[in-house]
């Protein structure tokens, strides 16, 4: 099957933007063991109307830190026009998330997040430039990729060894590195919640080190999924439910809504 015509253009754009990724801590609060100075953590998500992979709700929330109380939320229905191509999810979703960050900057600049947690991968990606990197470079905000499933790249596989390593994560906060056949550490596997045996896959997005990313995600977890992403997901799906009871107004711009719903971890996570 021939590649979609967009693919070559998207590959060039990814390569261009990837040059702007910063893989180190750039903020003073990141260098403090207790993240002193960190006051606002953002989370983003897109939820799709079931059975319709073109109508979605783009959600941005900002939570206080360390209390993790919602300070701001922005949910908008959007029309997703770019096709879904594996490895290029950002071109479907990131434009709407960038717009949400820009609206926040215009309407409530004092609530601008100091870091964004993204439901997806960063450097843990086929070309080392996932959604969290893409959003980070375009907004120039520190970003962290938080995925619920392993992306099998650079020799990484969901094999028996990987499952055995997951079983070795006994307590909340336990980790092991994801080292590809290239020898590069692409991310970290984190057991984020004692009551869940399912880990998270953390990777650098932009302007944050992997160690800082893991520590921050862990500190944001009341359940398996860190609270900023969890709240963005809950609120986007609730917004869709409300919109379905009224005429839908969808704005132009992952056909995985049902899977995302199944993966969402809440109080019943086991």
- Asked if the model's pLDDT at residue 29 lies above 50, the reply is yes
Residue 13 lies in a domain: no
Concatenating the DSSP letter of every residue in the chain gives -PPPTHHHHHHHHHHHHHTT---S--SGGGGSTT-TT--EEEEEEEEEPTT-TTEEEEEEEEEETTT--EEEEEEEEEE--SPP-TT-THHHHHHHHHHHHHHHHHH-GGG--SEEEEES-SSSSTTS--HHHHHHHHHT--EEEEESS----TT---SHHHHHHHHT--STT-EEEEE-TTS-EEEEEE---TT----EEEEEEES--HHHHHHHHHHT-SSSS-HHHHHHHHHHHHHHHHHTTS----EE--TTHHHHHHH---TT--
Q: How many domains does the structure of the chain reveal?
A: 1
Residue 139 lies in a domain: yes
Domain annotation covers residue 98: yes
Q: Which pTM value belongs to this model?
A: 0.90
Q: Is residue 19 in some structural domain? A: no
Whether 204 is covered by a domain: the verdict is yes
| Residue 181, in any domain of the structure | yes
Query: Could you tell me the CATH number of the domain that includes residue 160?
Result: 3.30.2170.10
- What pLDDT score does 244 carry? 86
Task: Please write the tens of the pLDDT for every residue from 205-251.
Answer: 999 999 999 999 999 999 999 999 999 999 999 999 998 886 555 55
Domain of residue 136, residue span: 41-245
Residue 32 lies in a domain: no
Q: Quick check: is 112 in a domain?
A: yes
pLDDT of residue 6: 82
């Amino acid at each position: 099957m021939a590649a979609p015509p967009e693919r070559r253009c998207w590959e060039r754009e990814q390569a261009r933007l990837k040059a702007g990724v910063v893989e180190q801590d750039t903020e003073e609060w990141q260098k403090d063991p207790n993240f002193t100075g960190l006051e606002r953590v953002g989370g983003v998500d897109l939820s799709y109307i079931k059975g319709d992979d073109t109508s979605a709700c783009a959600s941005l929330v900002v939570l206080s830190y360390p209390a993790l109380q919602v300070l701001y939320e922005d949910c908008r229905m959007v029309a997703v026009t770019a096709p879904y191509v594996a490895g290029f999810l950002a071109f479907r979703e990131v434009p709407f998330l960038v717009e949400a960050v820009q609206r926040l900057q215009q309407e409530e600049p004092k609530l601008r997040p100091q870091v964004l947690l993204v439901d997806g991968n960063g450097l843990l990606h086929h070309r080392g430039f996932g959604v969290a990197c893409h959003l980070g470079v375009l907004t120039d905000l520190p970003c962290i990729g938080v995925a619920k499933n392993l992306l099998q790249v650079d020799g990484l596989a969901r094999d028996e060894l990987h499952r055995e390593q997951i079983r070795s994560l006994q307590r909340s906060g336990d980790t092991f590195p994801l080292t590809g056949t290239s020898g590069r550490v692409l991310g970290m596997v984190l057991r984020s919640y004692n009551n869940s045996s399912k880990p998270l896959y953390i990777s650098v997005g932009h302007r944050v080190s992997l160690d800082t990313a893991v520590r921050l995600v862990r500190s944001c977890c009341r359940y398996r999924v860190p609270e900023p992403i969890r709240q963005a997901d809950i609120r986007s799906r609730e917004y869709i439910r409300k919109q379905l009871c009224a005429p839908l107004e969808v704005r132009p711009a992952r056909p995985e809504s049902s899977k995302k719903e199944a993966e969402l971890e809440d109080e019943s996570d086991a």
